[in-house]
Amino acid sequence: MTSTTSQLPAPRELSARFPLAEGVVQASDEDRESALRRGAFGVDFTDHMAQAIFTRGAGWHSHGVVQYGALTLTPSSSVLHYGQEVFEGLKAYRHADGSVWTFRPEQNALRHNRSARRMGLPEQPVEDFVGGIAALVQADEAWVPSTPGSSLYLRPFMFASEHFLGVRAADEVTFLVVASPVGPYFVNGFQPIDIWVTREYHRSGPGGTGAAKTAGNYASSLLPKALAREQGFEEVLFLDGATASLVEELGGMNIMAVRSDGTVVTPSLRHETILPGITRASLIQLMADQGRRVDEVDLPLTDLVDGIRSGAITEVFACGTAAVITPIGRLASDDFDVTVADGAPGPLTTGLYEVLTGIQYGTRPDPHGWLYRLT
Ligand SMILES: Cc1ncc(COP(=O)(O)O)c(C=O)c1O
């Protein structure tokens, strides 16, 4: 079983699993360049997509890299009714010598399989998941931007494509990988965000799907997020569904807090209600490398709010693939409104951001062999 980046076979070996279709229409150089310049997340997509089909009985088949474009789905396609879908998010980074790399892709593959298992979808070999990514990035290499801080966002996903209305796991499933060029996340510098803590809505509960990267978790976060935005908050922090007292995570990022003694605290994964972020795991490893203590424990909201108020907590940040690290400047709910330190990003927040992005863009050593070369 491939469980570390260094165990992965060579990229050409993996991409050979997804033969490139002939006759794919490519964007003009001008259109591609203007999409790369725009760099708006999830707006422009590359020329190709990777695909594979699963049919119960036959297993995975029809692997290939084909024209990016509209899908043919009937109105009875199971995913449109019961939401049987899982997805992943990772990036391809261009290094100064022109080569293109990705970060811990086997971790996304393993998480994709765990999400799939929870949602009654078929698992797939790690080599197929990474092979689809490698084949797509090799076909669309020109779409990987080279301006500092930019990347090609990769979205592997799998859904119930069977034409059948009935509440059971689908017998036909489609796996696709699409890619979208993205510019630097922090266009105006490293900006702290304001967070609304919702007591009214939860993204997951005990025995639910919180640890799976599945569409419904995001759908249920959209209303609380819209309500928070109306009040001027960028993101929502969710509490546990059982007691509404423990900090869980944001709609699309994990959370960490730095104590005045230099130790760090982040919600434990043990209740299986939180998405196990690969950025989270990587930051915990980098902090362990520095000899820094990170407590993965239950984090009561009262401890977080009181700590921010008293100065016992000096930095709070969110972490995830899209922005790597997002400093949190303010946390508020119906009964409190606190500003973290002076509202500016703290030294550990900034330092971790520089180290992790340095590894991803090849400007710092990669001591754990997390990078995987795609081209
Ligand atoms: C709900 C949620 N939590 C956390 C994360 C962070 O995960 P990762 O660091 O693997 O991107 C994400 C983003 O994928 C997410 O959607």
Q: What pLDDT is attached to residue 133?
A: 98
Q: What pLDDT is attached to residue 342?
A: 83
* Cα dihedral value 114, 83, 55, 171, nearest 10: 110
Residues framing ligand 1 (Cβ under 6 A)? 89, 249, 252-254, 275, 277-280, 320-321
Residue closest by Cα to atom 15 of ligand 1: 252
Q: What pLDDT is attached to residue 304?
A: 98
Give the distance (Å) from ligand 1 centre to CA of residue 90.
10
Report the chain (375 residues): mean pLDDT per 10 consecutive residues. 87 97 97 95 97 98 98 97 98 98 98 98 98 98 96 98 96 98 82 95 96 97 97 96 97 97 98 98 98 98 98 98 95 97 91 97 98 98
Which among 115, 254, 283 is the best mutation to test ligand 1's pocket, defined by most ligand atoms within 8 Å of the CB? 254
Read off the CATH number of the domain in which 236 is found.
3.20.10.10
Both 22 and 169 in a single domain?
yes
Both 200 and 323 in a single domain?
yes
Both 307 and 226 in a single domain?
yes
Both 13 and 104 in a single domain?
yes
Q: What pLDDT is attached to residue 1?
A: 59
Both 9 and 99 in a single domain?
yes
Residue closest by Cα to atom 16 of ligand 1: 252
Domain that holds residue 53: 5-185
Give the distance (Å) from ligand 1 centre to CA of residue 166.
31
Domain-embedded: residue 169? yes
Q: Are 352 and 85 in contact (CB under 8 A)?
A: no
- Ligand 1: atom nearest CA of 221 is 1
Closest by Cα among 232, 228, 235, 242 to 323: 235
- Ligand 1: atom nearest CA of 321 is 11
- Ligand 1: atom nearest CA of 107 is 10
Helices (H) and strands (E) in the chain, counts: 9, 17
